[in-house]
Amino acid sequence: MSKFALGQSVTRLEDAALVQGAGRYSDDVELAGAAHACVLRSPHAHANIRGIDTAAARAAAGVLAVLTEADVANDGLGDIPCLVPVTNIDGKPRADTPRPLLARGRVRHVGDPVALVVAETLAQARDAAELIDVDYDPLPAVADTRAAAQADAPQVWEHIPGNLCFDIGAGSGKAAVDAAIAGAAHVTRLELVNNRIVANPIEPRAALADYDAASGRSTLYTPSQGPHVIHGQLAEAVLKIDKALLRVVSGNVGGAFGMKIFLHPEQPLVVWASRRLRRAVRWTADRSESFLSDVQGRDHYSVADLALDKDGHFLALRVSTHANMGAYLSNYAPFIPQLSVPMLSGVYRIPAIYANIRGIASNTVPVDAYRGAGRPEAIYLVERVVDVAARELGLAPDELRRRNFVKPGDMPYQTPVESCYDSGDFAAVMNRAMGKADWAGFPARRAEAGRQGKIRGIGLAMYIERCGGGNGDTIVLKVDAAGTVTLYSGMQDNGQGHITTFVQLLPDKLGLDASQIRVVQGDSDVVPAGLTGGSRFLAIGGVAALAAADEVIEQGKDTAAGLLEAAAADIEYGEGEYRVAGTDRRVSLAQVAQAAQGLAATHTRNPQAYTYPNGCHICEIEIDAETGEARIVHYSIVDDFGRAINPLLLEGQVHGGTVQGIGQALLELAHYDAESAQLLAGSFMDYAMPRADNVPAFDCGFHHVPCASNPLGVKGAGEAGAVGAPPAVINAVVDALQPLTGLRHIDMPATREKLWRALRAA
């Protein structure tokens, strides 16, 4: 069996170059004579701009240009668009928040771009930026989600009363849910916050623009999750040029987590400056800039009401969410909280569900998708309220879940919130995870920890998420005369191992050696449209690649028939050769491609249904009663991803997502000052990222039930860890503290200080 056979744990082909420093990230691209850009950013969260004096900056050494909103207007540039329309409950469209490249008369968050300085060196650009004199008239500001929704809150936009950008309802009908809750034997109500976090990929955002005077064409080198996603809106909506005059290139991408999908102001600013100066211009964010300008994630305040009958069966769920959008509606921002709605049923039978979601503007960095994009927010809410309900009813957390699981015999199961689950065995997944965690032995471990002055808790969380839907993705497959297969994908690898996976998919199908397969990504000139995001790579791109391979094989049959002097109907393909059925007459794929002057197929996979990965996370945590320090002592995970194409890569995705989920649960918070809306956690000195000593070795396992909605049988995996980890960790923290403190809930992040205060209060 080839080491590249499906189901084998193949190490990543990408890694050899990367660990030797041979990767080519955007900042590694060298262009002769490239100038350097520096963005002057607002120090105020909210202020009118009464005037900008750029004279000293323009006269500074090495300065090539100092650009402000007046220049943007003179050149007729457009705003960065929000791409998601929304119809409110009252039938009116959502409010608009025009996002200029450079502040238009007012700044609305700390870090809002005010001016762009371009100089021969970065030091000169930074020095000149400090010479710009901006006359600010500070205004009241608001950062907190709940505070921004109050009637007396400072208004971020004068045309948006109450800072309410949109107000939508979704689910099985508010009246039915209200009636079920009113008549229920028991109702559990829980208020909870899904804390704001910063993406913090290892590679910061960057933009390098080149200009070809002969053709009038620009090339932008920038890390992305698919160059076509920003290509069209950058060219047509912002720069107002034909798309043919812009090329977008993404090389290696050092992490993204959703944040690099979206168009940010610096990308069009750099292209614009390059076209004005007719030379290359580059900008790379430092980490402080990233905190002040990268779109951030989460930031929801929700109230959940779960109704149950006298036997502990779920009757209805009502959810009210305020979703902080920040100062401007980013590209997909209104869509993200809506993505939580189809997951509000969790893995349970809940007959009636209704959600009201309000998008709230605030004087903070804009919010958009972060790993999981709506699904972690939904599952955190569901799994926390289920855990609280179990305690209120005196039931074990696993018992209440068992009573309400959707069963394998119920599949396909239509939830009241759009999702239709095609497969899964949730009880079996939970049972296996509980076995891994030695759930039955926990009381003894808790007692032993108590004798040592420690407080132990164990938390269980089930998750399910919806992946692999949305727009289709296209794969182009070409075979040259040498028999080399080149696959072109608009999806962009940013750490997942796309090349390895594509190479693993094709050898068996085409009967070729892995060395004969090339993968091309990241160039809008040569790859088709595509997007990496939403755990959709295999279910869409992988399926499209196999279909394109089938089409290439079929395309070559007529040529093979001519070479073999046989009827096309008698030609069969296998092990890299076309054969006349029942004979030893054969010709290789390379020979057919040579005779046909190349073979090529283009296949677009438009998914007809979503995939629903699911699983169980169990976290065992130990808290020091004196200091509040929490330590995860054991962590068990069992996932159902339908099928494992590469178990090693699959487990790596689970590890990464789980660490990010643990970070959100225990450590990370983009904390803003309540009065000034200044970001107080604006560096790694103040913003706690998870480290190796914050997590144990994970005990991972799989219980795959093949997906029925795609021929590979796969379900998404890239975001699963970030979905399951937060509720598992917080359930464990509450389980540890509840016997001593009566604690019912604690909001993320459950920091050492928070835990210490909870213990002291008791």
| Number of helices and strands in the chain (H, E) | 21, 28
Q: Residue 5's closest CA among 536, 511, 576? A: 511
Which ranges in 167-257 belong to alpha helices (H)?
174-182, 227-232
- Residue range 216-230: mean pLDDT, rounded: 97
- For residue 663 the two structure tokens come to 């970070």
| Distance in angstroms between the alpha carbons of the first and the last residue of the chain | 61
The beta strand positions in 91-197, using DSSP E, are 106-107, 113-119, 133-138, 164-171, 186-194
Strands 186-194 vs 164-171: parallel, antiparallel or unpaired:
unpaired
Residue 619's beta-bridge partner residues? 459, 635
Helix, strand and coil in the chain, % to nearest 5: 35, 25, 40
Residue 27: C-alpha distances to residues 14, 203, 206 (Å): 19, 9, 7
Angle at which helices 557-564 and 543-555 pack, to 10 degrees? 30
d(CA 707, CA 613): 9
Residue 571: count of CB within 10 angstroms of its CB: 25
Tally the residues of the chain: 762
- Return the CATH number of the domain spanning residue range 140-195+296-405: 3.30.365.10
CA atoms within 13 A on the CB side of 505: 29
CATH topology assigned to domain 469-605: Aldehyde Oxidoreductase; domain 4 (3.30.365)
As a whole number of angstroms, the distance between CA 721 and CA 143 comes to 29
What does the alpha-carbon distance between residue 539 and residue 541 come to, in Å, rounded to a whole number?
6
Residue 2's pLDDT band (boundaries 50, 70, 90)? low
Q: What is the pLDDT of residues 318-336, one digit of tens each?
A: 999 999 999 999 999 999 9
Q: Measured between alpha carbons, how far is 363 from 69 in angstroms, rounded to an integer? A: 20
Task: List every span in the chain annotated with CATH 3.30.365.10.
Answer: 140-195+296-405, 420-465+612-762, 469-605
In 381-526, DSSP assigns E strands to: 413-414, 420-421, 454-464, 473-479, 485-489, 517-520
At 1, the pLDDT band (50, 70, 90 cuts) reads low
CA distance readout (Å), 62 to 27, 176, 180, 284, 350: 21, 68, 70, 19, 65
Strand 314-326 relative to strand 63-67, pairing: unpaired
Count of CB atoms situated within 10 Å of the CB of 331: 23
Which of these, 39, 71, 66, lies nearest to 54 by C-alpha position? Answer: 66
* Other CB atoms within 10 A of residue 22 CB: 10
Q: Where are the beta strands (DSSP E) in 681-739?
A: 699-702
Q: For position 608, what pLDDT does the model report?
A: 84
CA-based R_g, the chain, Å: 27
- State the residue for tokens 């009757």: 315
pLDDT, mean of residues 664-672: 98
Query: Model confidence over 353-369: pLDDT tens digits?
Result: 999 999 999 999 999 99
Lowest-pLDDT choice from 18-22, 208-212, 404-408, 441-445: 18-22
Helix axes 720-741, 375-393, angle to 10 degrees: 30
Give residue 600's Cα distance to chain centre: 32
Pair 737, 744: CB distance under 8 Å? no
For residue 470, the model assigns a pLDDT of: 76
Classify residue 441 by burial, with Cβ atoms within 10 Å: 0-12, 13-18, 19+. exposed
Summary mean pLDDT of the chain: 97
Is the link from the previous residue into 412 a cis peptide, with omega within 30 of 0?
Answer: yes
Distance between CA atoms of residues 446 and 454, nearest Å: 9
Beta bridge partners of 352: 316
The whole-angstrom separation of Cα 372 and Cα 403 is 27
Neighbours of 197 (CB within 10 A): 25
Classify domain 31-139+205-284 at the CATH class level: alpha beta
Average pLDDT for 239-257: 97
Residues of the chain with CATH 3.90.1170.50: 31-139+205-284
Query: pLDDT-derived band of residue 722, with 50, 70 and 90 as boundaries?
Result: very high
Task: Say if residue 227 is preceded by a cis peptide, omega within 30 of 0.
Answer: no
**DSSP letter (8 states) at residue 441:** G
**116-151: pLDDT as tens digits:** 999 999 999 999 999 999 999 999 999 999 999 999
Q: Please tell me the distance from the alpha carbon of residue 476 to that of residue 214, in angstroms, as a whole number.
A: 30
Tell me which H or E stretch contains 298: none
Higher-scoring residue by pLDDT: 155, 472: 155
Q: Which CATH class is domain 420-465+612-762?
A: alpha beta
pLDDT exceeds 80 at position 644: yes
The one-letter code for the residue type at 207 is A
Name all contacts of 388-395 with Cβ < 8 Å and 24+ positions apart: 388/188, 388/190, 388/744, 388/745, 389/186, 389/188, 389/306, 389/308, 391/738, 391/744, 392/186, 392/188, 393/186, 393/308, 393/312, 395/312
Share of the chain above pLDDT 90, in %: 98
d(CA 477, CA 486): 6
Amino acid at 468: G
Q: Is the pTM of this model over 0.85?
A: yes
CB 457 within 8 A of CB 621: yes
Q: Give the CA angle between residues 635, 641, 644 to the nearest 5°.
A: 100
